[in-house]
């Protein structure tokens, strides 16, 4: 896989990591899920970089980006601020976003904050509404996996957590999968490549989120740190072209939530990937075809638009 590795500084001094694939003026930014990292997009980037430049960052606390000494800063507003810093440092004014799970929520926030910079968005199995049962399921295992002694055990551990998303996959898949999201420790053991405080901070914040939503309903407060309290308010800012990818087995983006999103934005394209839960890899034939069909339309539309 041909990519170059880079670091940049966040506004609060952390050293953060990203990969760059391909070249050109048309840029696709790939944003990963809650506990994942840029390696999730390796195979997809191989396809995309034949046509566009691909930027794939590790969010703070994940992969090769530094962990935050103040875990309270692990929240979407901070992550989005980091991505704006990266894009400004690279002098990238216009781009498309592919966001998986948390990355899709970040894309909605970015659309709300600086819509004029986004060509379009691919939202991978995420919406502005999260079923409580699905959130509880994810938080049961996120950031809690114990260190193990070998890759075989790590693969079995990952399969236990993610089998609902990728049923009937062979052992070879899990062997590859675990190498994207685990790392070696100083003692030679293997553990998920994410700061455990990422998920723990989210668990602790659930009561605060409920309080903020109550204040939102009462009309007392609408934003915190530049981010809408109600994600539906952010989603309404997604007026640029958008492709919504849903796993047919997903409990995070249910069919009902996906339909509600299309009702709000009838121009949104929706594709459902069979035999996938949360979240599709985006390299499944149906998903890849949809993404590779969507992005050229987004960029060609921009090229053909009259200059003001």
Confidence of residue 229 (pLDDT cuts 50, 70, 90): confident
Position 248 scores a pLDDT of: 98
- pLDDT digit string, tens, across residues 13-66: 999 999 999 999 999 999 999 999 999 999 999 999 999 999 999 999 999 999
265 closest CA partner among 230, 296, 239, 290: 239
Residues 189-225: pLDDT tens digits? 999 999 999 999 999 887 777 766 776 777 776 777 7
User: What DSSP element (H or E) covers 43?
Assistant: helix 42-48
Cα–Cα distance between 22 and 51 in angstroms, integer?
A: 8
Cβ atoms of residues 261 and 254 within 8 Å: no
For residues 168-188, give the mean pLDDT. Answer: 95
CATH class of 4-131+228-304: alpha beta
**Residue 271 reports pLDDT greater than 60:** yes
Q: Given this model, what pLDDT does residue 247 score?
A: 98
- Tell me the pTM: 0.95
* Angle ∠(230,13,179) on CA atoms, nearest 5: 75
Rg, C-alpha atoms of the chain: 19
Q: How far apart are the first and last CA of the chain?
A: 39
Question: In the 3-class helix/strand/coil scheme, how is 192-205 assigned residue by residue?
Answer: ECECHHHHHHHHHH
Give the mean model confidence (pLDDT) for residues 152-170.
Answer: 95
Distance CA 267, CA 243 (A): 9
Q: Distance between CA atoms of 10 and 14, rounded to whole angstroms?
A: 5
* Residue 22: other Cβ atoms inside 10 A: 19
**What DSSP character marks residue 72?**
G
Listed in sequence order, the residues at least 6 apart from 208 whose beta carbon sits closer than 8 Å to its beta carbon are: none
Q: What is the pLDDT of residues 93-115, one digit of tens each?
A: 999 999 999 999 999 999 999 99
Going from N- to C-terminal start, the domains of the chain cover 4-131+228-304
């Amino acid at each position: 896989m041909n990519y170059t590795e880079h670091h940049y500084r966040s506004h609060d001094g952390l050293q953060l990591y990203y990969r760059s694939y391909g070249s050109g003026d048309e840029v696709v930014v790939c944003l990963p899920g809650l506990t994942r990292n840029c390696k999730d997009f390796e195979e997809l980037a191989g396809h995309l970089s034949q046509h566009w430049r691909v930027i794939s960052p590790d969010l703070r606390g994940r992969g090769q980006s530094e962990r935050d000494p103040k875990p309270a800063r692990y929240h979407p507003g901070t992550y989005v601020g980091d991505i704006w810093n990266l894009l400004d440092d690279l002098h990238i004014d216009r781009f498309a976003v592919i966001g998986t799970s948390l990355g899709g929520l970040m894309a909605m926030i970015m659309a709300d904050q600086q819509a004029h910079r986004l060509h379009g968005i691919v939202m991978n199995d995420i919406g502005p509404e999260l079923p409580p049962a699905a959130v509880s399921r994810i938080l049961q295992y996120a950031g809690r996996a114990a260190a193990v002694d070998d890759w075989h055990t790590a693969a079995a551990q990952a399969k236990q957590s993610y089998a609902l998303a990728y049923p009937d996959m062979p052992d070879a898949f899990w062997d590859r999968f675990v190498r994207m999201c685990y790392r070696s420790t100083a003692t030679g053991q293997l553990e998920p490549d994410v700061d455990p405080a990422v998920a723990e901070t989210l668990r602790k914040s659930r009561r605060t989120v409920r309080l903020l939503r109550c204040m939102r309903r009462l009309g007392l407060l609408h934003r915190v740190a530049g981010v809408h309290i109600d994600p539906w308010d952010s989603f309404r800012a997604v007026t640029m072209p958008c492709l919504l990818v849903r796993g047919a087995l997903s409990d995070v983006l249910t069919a009902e939530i996906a339909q509600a999103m299309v009702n709000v934005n009838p121009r949104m394209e929706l594709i459902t990937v069979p035999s996938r839960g949360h979240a599709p890899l985006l390299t499944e034939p149906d998903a890849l075809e949809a993404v590779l069909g969507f992005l050229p339309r987004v960029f060609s539309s921009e090229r053909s638009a009259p200059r003001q």
